[in-house]
Chains A and B, each alone.
Chain A
Amino acid sequence: MTANPLVAIRNVSKKFPGVTALSDVSFEIRRGEIHALMGENGAGKSTLIKILCGVHKATTGSVALDGAETVFDRPQDAEKGGIRTVFQELNIVPQLSVAENISLGSLPLKSGLVDRKKMLERAADALSGLGADLPLEARAGDLPRSSQQLIEIARALMGEARLLILDEPTASLGENESRQLLNIVTGLARRGVAILYVTHRMHEVEAIADRVSVLRDGKFIETLGAPMDEAVIVERMIGRPASSLYQHSRRDPGRELLAVSGLGSATLRDVSMSVRAGEVVGVAGLLGCGKSDLARACFGLHPIQDGGIELDGEQIAKPSPAGMLERGVVYYPSDRRTEGLVLGRPLFESMTMGSHRPAQITRKGFLRTQKESELAHSIAAELDLRPMQLDRASGKFSGGNQQKAVLARGRLRLAKVHLFDEPTVGIDVGAKADVYRLIDNYADAGHGVVVISSDLTEIIGISDRVYVMREGRIAAHLAGSDITEENIARSFFTAAPA
């Protein structure tokens, strides 16, 4: 092993007009190590990644590759240096095949035409190198997100890759797919590729990372080695000792608010679920088990074929989003960017959209913009949404704050049932705590809360009762001390005892 680390980040600072995104960050990435990069949203992780892969230039400080100081003017320079990045937003052309996507930008040519045979060979090689098996000629858009991610990783590893930067690769993957991806990542590290792994998921860091560097408010805090202590990492990230995320008092559930019986659809089979006033009901399951469709069906976003939905004693024949909202049922989508926000419009518009009348911000058909703004600000303050510039475009806010904007719609009307679909995906520890606090408050106030989640720790931590789904059916129903990781995980794979 050479004395020089693969990448040495030395006193890197980055100033944007009006903001210092990074100040004086220094740490090293060694060959073949899995180096986790953690920090709350806005801590500077993305900026640092963009400097490493040549999208941004550091204002001061330097990056040394193999001991030699390097300046990347363009992403292509970083690529030549062996630094590859897979961003959270995938660059997949859905209309093209898997093989074409893997060779995107570097299609093998033979006398000016695409060399299909070589392209397929290359793709097969790249995927088998990852230990992945994908249909090479399938349309990339038809594959699940986890497969699309593998396509990106395979493409990134084309040629000589020495550092692979992964930006929250498991954010939109289920438990099983995540595990598979972590295996692939450890395999790559064993082959000598260094990995810079950005994530919000503590158990992944504990599982695979050799070291973890923590950023906070643009400053480098510390690089920690094994053994990883979750409490210490969280404390470094938020700058104060972490109180437990999952604390809630015992509750006595009241009357039944939402009753789903014998629900059948394209993806659901005979699903029954009951949600009472004043309880948090968790729904766990692997990706594709139908747990999200269950919530969507209750909200009228997923067409049902059999069975019934009863809300507070009222049979709902044909649920629709507008009708369910009117009855006090709010669904918070998992994908905030595609279903939650209007990215190009000011954030407050996304907060109040669809809620103008129930929130009484209209008078004689006209919007009371002053009241709208006051209301949006007070809810933003309550949820600790930052920055409080609600006129800024939604797309410019971080994941956690985007989520808070979507959550506002539950505060703008008289809601009694809340359906949370993956409420903390891609958001930081601080925002997570705020979301859990909100969920607890709703349950304490006698609302019925359903939380659909792929995060087992979360399900166990916040639920009073848990349904586990498998292949569109309810595989288990757990309550009290039966809610354990072991019990839930077992039901992922095997049917419940009759």
Chain B
Amino acid sequence: MQFILTTGLLPALLILMCVVFAMVEPRFVDGSNLLNVARQSVFLLLIAMGQMIVLINAQLDLSVGATVALTSVVVASVTAASSGGPESVLLGLGAGLLLGVVIGLLNGCIVAFWKVPSFMATLGSTSVLTGLALIISKGAPIIGLPMIFSDVLATSSVLGIPVPVLLGVVIAVGIGVFMSRTVPGRNMYAVGGNRAAALVAGIDVKKTVILAFVLCSVLASLAGILLTARVGSGEASLGASFVMLSIAAAVLGGTSLFGGEGVLWRVVLGVLFLGVLSNGMNLLHVSSYIQELVIGIVLIAAVAAERLKRVA
């Protein structure tokens, strides 16, 4: 009980869920399955962390899914046209991340300078980015990626830990430190918590908001790169589901939709919660239709329980 009071419901729910799955389906606790959960959760983790940063600034980024899609198409085109040597990995990474920076700058500037509400700004850019992805790919998967791209970014391991998982962990630690221990990170909580007060205190509000959108888009692009490496082709249809799931994971982890509130490790738990839930249901052969339904109900119940507890 004390544990729940101090840490919130989420950790307890996550543990409970793991215990139930482990009892019903022993394969769940198998080492390779747990690694699988981690491998599958990395993409959402990256995007949800970005979404958390934007939410803390009292903004919203609906374009993360389209960013994944466009990144996938661009990275696949660039690497497919490359020599296929080790440098093509760097080329793909560089092109994808640069694209993320550009998308983030555009989203951020539209919101900060033109004062377009981020909901509308990123809804609009979603459409633009999706359109670009379809134009570039002509609606078909882009194939012919060099083998080394997937080898390095999807299947290789360091000390038994898959490279994407390792990347996810390192970046999560980095974002955690950035948000809690640096001035720009702390400024984001101030800007999201009370924009007018942040301005009077001398914080560059516009720069802070733009930085948040850039970080979010870069993280989404990285997820797009890793996803492309995993599926081995560039697809304009990748990533759409990440928009809602990233918001869900962030809010499940206690991030406020109104800004100023959000802690990284909780968002990580939110991602794991969704990852374990879908993995467990897969092991139990629950149909994907029913999975959709269950995830929706569990989400609402978990957030409502957390709120009610806080009021009480």
Contacts and interface: CB of A to CB of B under 8 A. Distances in A.
A366 B203 contact: no
Interface string B176-215: 0100011100110110011011111111100000000000
Contact of B203 (A324, A345, A353, A365): A353
Contacts of B186: 349, 353, 356, 367
Contact of A321 (B194, B202, B256, B260): B202
Contacts, number: 81
B261 interface: yes
A388 interface: no
Interface in A342-401: 342-345, 349-350, 353-357, 362, 365-367, 369
In this complex, the member of A362, A366, A409 whose beta carbon has the largest number of chain B beta carbons within 10 angstroms is A366
Nearest to B177: A366
Nearest to B201: A354
B90 to A, nearest CB: 26
B189 A301 contact: no
B193 A343 contact: yes
Interface in B203-253: 203-204
A345 B260 contact: yes
In this complex, the member of B181, B183, B260 whose beta carbon has the largest number of chain A beta carbons within 10 angstroms is B183
Contacts of B190: 342, 345, 349-350, 353-354
A389 to B, nearest CB: 17
Given A322-B202, A342-B260, A366 B197 contact: no
A356 B193 contact: no
B200 to A, nearest CB: 5
A284 to B, nearest CB: 23
A342 B197 contact: yes
Interface in B28-84: none
A339 interface: yes
A123 to B, nearest CB: 32
Contact of A349 (B189, B200, B204): B189
A341 interface: yes
In this complex, the member of A326, A341, A344, A353 whose beta carbon has the largest number of chain B beta carbons within 10 angstroms is A353
A344 B56 CA distance: 12
Contacts of A369: 181
A432 to B, nearest CB: 22
A356 B185 CA distance: 12
Given A339-B197, A342-B193, A343-B194, A356 B183 contact: yes
Given A344-B193, A345-B190, A409 B182 contact: no
Contacts of A287: none
Given A345-B189, A353-B203, A354-B203, A367 B197 contact: no
Contacts of A322: 202-204
A350 B261 contact: no
B211 to A, nearest CB: 14
A481 interface: no
A340 interface: yes
B200 A333 contact: yes
Nearest to A413: B202
Contacts of A340: 197, 200
B79 to A, nearest CB: 34
A301 B189 CA distance: 21
A92 to B, nearest CB: 19
Given A322-B203, A342-B189, A345-B193, A353 B198 contact: yes
A359 to B, nearest CB: 11
A331 interface: yes
B193 to A, nearest CB: 4
Contact of B261 (A333, A344, A356): A344
A409 B181 CA distance: 20
A34 interface: no
A366 B193 CA distance: 21
A354 B198 contact: yes
In this complex, the member of B186, B189, B197, B260 whose beta carbon has the largest number of chain A beta carbons within 10 angstroms is B197
A31 B177 CA distance: 62
Contact of B197 (A350, A355, A357): A350
A342 to B, nearest CB: 4
Contacts of B260: 342, 344-345
A2 interface: no
A237 B280 CA distance: 64
A384 B261 CA distance: 28
Nearest to A301: B200
A494 interface: no
Interface in A10-53: none
A339 to B, nearest CB: 5
A366 B181 contact: yes
A326 B202 CA distance: 8
Contact of A325 (B189, B196, B202, B256): B202
28 contacts: A299-B200, A301-B199, A321-B201, A322-B202, A322-B204, A325-B201, A326-B202, A331-B200, A338-B196, A340-B197, A340-B200, A341-B194, A341-B197, A343-B193, A344-B193, A344-B256, A345-B193, A345-B261, A349-B186, A353-B197, A353-B198, A353-B203, A354-B201, A354-B202, A356-B186, A365-B182, A366-B182, A409-B201
Given A324-B202, A350-B197, 14 more contacts: A299-B200, A333-B200, A342-B190, A342-B193, A344-B261, A349-B189, A350-B190, A353-B186, A353-B190, A353-B197, A353-B198, A354-B187, A354-B202, A367-B181
Interface of A: 299, 301, 321-322, 324-326, 331, 333, 338-345, 349-350, 353-357, 362, 365-367, 369, 409
- For the complex of A and B, the 4 pairs showing the least CB-CB separation, nearest first, are A354-B201, A342-B193, A325-B202, A354-B202
